[in-house]
Amino acid sequence: MFQDTVKVLDFFSFPDYAVFFAVLFLTVFFVLYGNFKRKNTEDKFLDYMLMGRRLTLPFFVATLCASWYGGIFGVSEITFNYGIYNFITQGLFWYIAYIIFALFMVNKIKKYQSLTLPEMAGEMFGPKAHKTCAVFTFFNVLPIAYVLSLGVFLHLCFGISTFWGMIIGTSFVCLYASWGGLRAVVYSDAVQFSVMCLSVLLVLIFSVKTFGGLAFLKANLPYAHFSITGGNSYFNLAVWGFIALATLVDPSFYQRCFAAKDIRTAKRGILICALIWLCFDICTTAGALYARALIPEAAPRDSYFIYAIQLLPIGLKGFFVAGILSIILSTLDSFLFIASNTIAYDLLKNKIKNTLLANQIFFIIIAALAISLSIYFEGSFKKIWFVLGSYMSACLLVPLVLGHIFPKRISDKTFTLSAIISAVFLTLWDTFEKQGFWAQIDGFYIGVLTNLLLLSIAIYRKRKCKQSKTF
């Protein structure tokens, strides 16, 4: 019934084209409207970076939700290969982190008048911490997976190579996101958020209606697909839990919280997003499981997309394709924007006269780097997320969280050394071949333990020093 490879346009009819281009037109219209609003503000740089810190709850929810799910083909790949392991590693662990961020982190970070996460680290620890955090942030937000997703999308739709799809698609994103700043990103996200949520819900509804529910999936999928490890080790599963905690130091979360008009908006917004993400993950994971059951010979990363195109009726095919494009664009533009800010504002601020212009130029440079690295990672979404997420979590999570718990106890030099040494130990551990039990221990754990040890010693010594001065 279902083909394992398709040419998307062969399944399109006039209503599909009409719906698809209507969504694109609406997105462009909102980008233009966002840019118009930016021109009428007094502080253009603050508006470009953070919408003048006037982000309201509806826009906060729309932009944070939309900017968090660009790796739809990665979800398809992981679910196809490992089943509900995707929901655990890319969903459940993260909900816990979102709630922790909303309840315990928002109050702490909103007291800083920073524009970026690295700048906040600089206020907490010092100038070296600012630069160190900026370097790790830059590599964490390099949109490698999302550039790759856009290339895969254009390949499936138009038959062009994934490489040229990455170049053409990313060039378009660079044009509108660099031009309008965060306001353009947020206004486009408002459209993309609505379309992406409804599109994945439609796939689940039609799947259940056509084939049945859980009983059908259990009868047509391997037993391991309903195991929480999906055939992976528990050590591997636990690493994803720690990677999810990197939300506590995620630059896009900080950017939206810095842009929110007040603390209440940020807190309520994140909790609402967590509920929406839960529903979204259920839809995408279930949809990908149907794809695995019905098209077992399909390429894992393409399977969900190919399945949905053949499942949905005329008109909704175009809406679904627009939804998938929205999922990718809403994350890609956000990550490109943060990465360019990190270079132009955090790393080179004092060396560049026109930070805003430099920010726009760096969009192109970052896009080229992301495309190159997607080739290095051999197009594996799991590998991209695992490697980049491991470094951010292992090297920045511990010092930043401890910095909030024990203010003024970690020096600028200590922060920098602990992050760098942890990265070195993590890299060395993963480089050398190991056997037996030690082969199951990921370098991530080594990085975290190194960080904890160095910072615990520093905090203890600072405390002892304070006590001795008291006496």
Domains of the chain: 8-393 (1.20.1730.10)
Q: Is-contact 93 351, C-beta < 8 A?
A: no
Query: 55 has which bridge partners?
Result: 260
Query: 260 has which bridge partners?
Result: 55
Predicted confidence at residue 386, as pLDDT, reads 63
Four-point Cα dihedral 347, 352, 353, 358, nearest 10: -80
Predicted confidence at residue 141, as pLDDT, reads 84
Residue 454 pLDDT more than 60?
A: yes
Question: Per-residue pLDDT tens for 376-410?
Answer: 765 555 566 666 667 777 888 889 888 888 888 88
Predicted confidence at residue 245, as pLDDT, reads 82
Residue 466: pLDDT band by 50, 70, 90 thresholds? low
Question: Please, what is the average pLDDT of the chain?
Answer: 85
Q: Which two tokens stand for residue 353?
A: 């006269």
Quote the DSSP letter at residue 261: S
Question: Per-residue pLDDT tens for 231-272?
Answer: 878 877 887 887 788 788 888 889 999 999 999 999 999 999
Query: Nearest Cα to 25, choosing from 171, 191, 199?
Result: 191
Query: Nearest Cα to 292, choosing from 145, 7, 80?
Result: 80
Residue 288: pLDDT band by 50, 70, 90 thresholds? very high
What's the whole-model pTM score? 0.84
